A and B are shown apart, each in its own frame.
Chain A
Amino acid sequence: MKTVAKAEPRVPAWARSSRMIAIYSVVVGIGIWQLAYEGLARTPYFEAYAIQHFLASPLQVIETFGELYRSGELFRHSYFSLLEFAYGFVLSVVVGIPVGFLMATQKKINTCLDPWVSCIYATPRVALAPIIIVWFGLGIFPNALIVFLGAVFPILLNTYTGIKSVRQNLIELVRAFGGSPLQVFFKVMIPDATPAIIAGLRLAVGRAVIGVVVAEWFGAEAGLGYMVYFYSQLFQPGPVFVGIVVLVVFGILSFIALDKVQGWISPWYAYQVRREVHGMEME
């Protein structure tokens, strides 16, 4: 035993956790941004280059947020974007998982669809967006279609890989105990492919958010992407940053939600992670 008592740490344990450190890091970053802005505002360059038209300070962003919130404008744009996101994403799930499954299990379907999937997946959406707007006009549905085009492939491809890499010995196990093909499907294939499918959903969220913004740049009368574009044309950086921040927060919340879903349906996941499939493309 040491005789000298250790000095009590001045900071309590919870305040030194890695989560808190992450929060400090963000707060300090925002603080530096604020101070830099204030500093810049005191120099002659600020006026000379009209910096207020390109940059906003965190406090100004918060202020603008309040204004846009009160006027209802923020809600209108967010609602529009959320609908596009939701329609596009749900459609991606409804199409991506079954098609990925069929491609993984039916050789003929795979042979027929594979070239299409590869081609459309390889086409940049930025190139497809204008033509879709031209065909279908402005509105939620053409935009949701652009979201769908971005989000469906990670879901489809991960479902495909997930089903393909279901362990054969587990399938044999269920068969050996008299399991029917349907039982093999629900008791082995689905659970064993779930982590890969969820990894696909995570990738899809990011691509869907990009899809929302791209779609709204090319044609929309509302939406967060539209708002960002619109105010940047007016050289008003406040609303631009508000739009960006809301999109980022939305993306992060979706990730957290998916993590929760994952922890809920697959508590064995930490063990699964070591399997290679899930290393693909993530983060």
Chain B
Amino acid sequence: METPASKLVVRNLRKAFRSQRSEESVQVFEDISLEVHPSEFISLVGPSGCGKTTFLRILDGLISHDDGEILLDGKTVIKPGPDKGFVFQDSSLLPWRTVMDNVILGLELQGVDTREARRKAGGYISLVGLAGFENHYPHELSGGMQQRVNLARALIVDPQVLLMDEPFASLDAQTREIMQAELLKMWNQTRKTVIFVTHQIEEAIFLSDRVVVFSARPATIREIVKVSIPRPRSLSVKRTKEFLDLADRVWSIIQDEVLKSMGREREEGMR
């Protein structure tokens, strides 16, 4: 049995994608082990294509893995479900549904009565700052607003763990900062366990308790950087020396990995 101190445990995870046409297979994860505490905010960074999205999809149970185990609250993860909330990179809202009906999707899929689900959704829509937009369609919203819906949709199922795949990647710099601050505020209120994938080192450090740096493919965990900047954090911590030093450190690790992966890609390209 797991110690209750760990919310999510990943042990010796391996995964390869086999292509249908050729014999070749792409080894994505060599051997990944990670323990996440309850209410911990973890960020995942690493070179592009190293397998961050794949990692989240495996954690959610959307795709299978080859070896190793994943335990959520001590139970093996086999399929997606309401114990996990997924926030997609592109907001993936259903265009034929209003904000309200997009937010209740998860509850609806569990068979919760629509009226009750809508009542519950009101609170989450306010939480993400979209009160008054319940009856708007996604195409009537800005990118930032769509991402808020995306977030509310994941929060409403009250998941044990929130998996977020570059949720702010498509936003402009200002909106992004605002959303980061809002996310922290919401996290303070809900205290969910969060796994947050991002390309932006600043963002990772600002949000997280720990930053996990993946190596280039086949990915292993290259390093785990602890962020001990006290909370609540305001945007101004981004200019403190402690913050900038951390960012430098993470940056230099990733740079190494990016150079490695680019080198390998070039080799593969020449073959």
Contact = CB atoms under 8 A, between A and B. Distances in A.
Answer yes or no: are A and B bound together in one complex.
yes
Nearest to A269: B96
Interface in B138-165: 139, 153, 157
A178 B92 contact: no
A175 B82 CA distance: 11
B8 to A, nearest CB: 16
Interface string A232-263: 00000000000000000000000000000000
B137 A268 contact: yes
A271 interface: yes
A176 interface: yes
B73 to A, nearest CB: 16
Given A267-B137, A271-B137, A178 B110 contact: yes
A264 interface: no
A183 B109 CA distance: 7
A266 interface: yes
A43 interface: no
A contacts with B: majority SS? helix
Interface in A153-171: 169-170
Interface in B144-190: 153, 157
A176 B60 contact: yes
A267 B110 CA distance: 26
Contact of B95 (A172, A174, A176, A271): A271
B122 interface: no
A173 B88 contact: yes
Interface string B73-111: 000000111101010101010111000000001101110
B62 interface: yes
Q: How large is the interface on A (under 10, 10 to 19, 20 to 34, 35 or more residues)?
A: 20 to 34
B88 A169 contact: yes
A267 B96 CA distance: 7
Contacts of B94: 170, 173, 187-188, 191
Most chain-B CB neighbours within 10 Å: which of A170, A178, A179, A183? A178
A271 B139 contact: yes
Interface in B34-62: 60, 62
A105 interface: no
A177 interface: yes
Contact of B92 (A173, A183, A194, A272): A173
Interface in A109-142: none
B51 to A, nearest CB: 17
Contacts of A170: 92, 94
Interface in A186-226: 187-188, 191-192, 194
Given A169-B92, A170-B94, A271-B95, A176 B80 contact: yes
A14 to B, nearest CB: 29
A191 B109 contact: no
B96 to A, nearest CB: 5
Contacts of B81: 178
Interface string B189-222: 0000000000000000000000000000000000
A177 B62 contact: no
A176 B79 CA distance: 9
A184 to B, nearest CB: 10
Contacts of B60: 176
Nearest to B140: A271
Nearest to A195: B96
A170 B106 CA distance: 13
- The 6 tightest CB contacts between A and B, nearest first, are A176-B86, A271-B139, A177-B106, A178-B81, A173-B92, A268-B96
Given A169-B90, A173-B88, A176-B60, 15 more contacts: A169-B88, A173-B86, A173-B92, A176-B62, A177-B80, A177-B82, A178-B80, A183-B109, A187-B94, A187-B109, A188-B94, A267-B137, A268-B137, A271-B137, A271-B139
23 contacts: A173-B92, A173-B105, A174-B105, A175-B62, A175-B80, A176-B80, A176-B86, A177-B86, A177-B153, A177-B157, A178-B79, A178-B80, A178-B81, A183-B109, A187-B94, A187-B108, A187-B109, A188-B94, A191-B94, A267-B137, A268-B137, A271-B95, A271-B137
